[in-house]
Amino acid sequence: CRSRRSSRVSSSPVSLKQQLMDLPNLFNRIANNQQEPQKFIAIEIGLDAVKVALWQSDGQHTEVISIGSVQSCTAADEEELLTAIDTSLADALGSLPDEPDQVIFGLPDAWVEDNNTIVDSKKALLKAVCKKFSFRPIGFVITTVAISHYLRDTEGGASSYILVQLSPGQLV
């Protein structure tokens, strides 16, 4: 585990449209027009699993450096969530000499209210994550919205998609 220090997860009431429009700009803000790429951590939290990835951005290009293992957990259980993130983070970091402290969260739809703020009960979990790992939160995306945005950009325009998420607890 990394050293502990407190941090706040802030969420501003930003519209979903504005969040989508600002997503590419988030990476530009991360890099602050620096010559050397800046590294940051992305944590995707699902309802029954988490995954950590390391990214870097130079303000113009953003790329995934490494991806940690997918760890099963109950996202509502704080201790289980912290343990799963710790394991995936260790896999993603490998032997990286310097550990980034900035984090972006990928969250399930159920964790975000209609006014694009994080549900109060989930804010406490995210604060616990930031505190345990000494992360500085820089934002969040709704995972399905981020996937839709990515598909729109790579497909070259508006298309119709059906996103299906299956998990062992949901299979009948």
Q: Give the pLDDT confidence score for residue 9 in this predicted structure.
A: 35
Q: Give the pLDDT confidence score for residue 115 in this predicted structure.
A: 84
Read off the pTM.
Answer: 0.74
Q: CA–CA separation, 105 vs 125, rounded Å? A: 12
Q: Give the pLDDT confidence score for residue 126 in this predicted structure.
A: 94
Per-residue confidence in pLDDT tens, the chain, 172 aa? 443 223 333 344 444 444 444 455 555 555 455 567 889 999 999 988 999 999 998 878 888 999 999 999 987 889 999 999 999 999 999 877 788 999 999 999 889 998 889 999 899 999 999 999 999 999 999 988 888 877 887 877 777 777 776 666 555 4
Q: Give the pLDDT confidence score for residue 172 in this predicted structure.
A: 44
Q: Give the pLDDT confidence score for residue 138 in this predicted structure.
A: 93
